[in-house]
Amino acid sequence: MTEISHNATCDLSNVQITQGIGIYTKHHRIQQNKSQDQLAREIGIARSTLSLFERGENTSLVVFVQVLRALNLLDKLAVFELNEQVVPGTLPKNAKDKSLNLKPKEESGSTQESDWAFY
């Protein structure tokens, strides 16, 4: 497959994107010399389901993951991994299990943004 720029990808319709995913998986299936029937049996779905997926007509995320796993392409999903980050309003995993309460500091009569603190 040729590489498409980000802007060009954004201009594609949902149907075009799902068809592209189907073409991508079909390409890799054929490259690995697997028939639709073989791959479908390997992942436990009907051959017709795989056929629909390869045409972009069945866009089940579960089927997509199953196909990528069977074709040893799960590493392509690494782009979706998030680094562990502290999300505002939550504690890091290694912090003590306390609930977060956002309250104004009592020593100040002001409620400016800088006067708020975690307790």
Which sequence spans correspond to the domains of the chain? 6-80
Mean predicted confidence (pLDDT) in 74-92: 76
Asked whether the whole model's pTM tops 0.85, one would answer no
Contact 63, 54 (CB under 8 A): no
Question: 69 is written with which tokens?
Answer: 């796993």
* pLDDT computed for residue 70 by the predictor: 96
Comparing 119 with 96, the larger pLDDT belongs to 96
The band of 23, judged by pLDDT with boundaries at 50, 70 and 90, is very high
Q: Does an H or E element contain 47, and which?
A: helix 47-54
* Fold observed for domain 6-80: 434 Repressor (Amino-terminal Domain) (1.10.260)
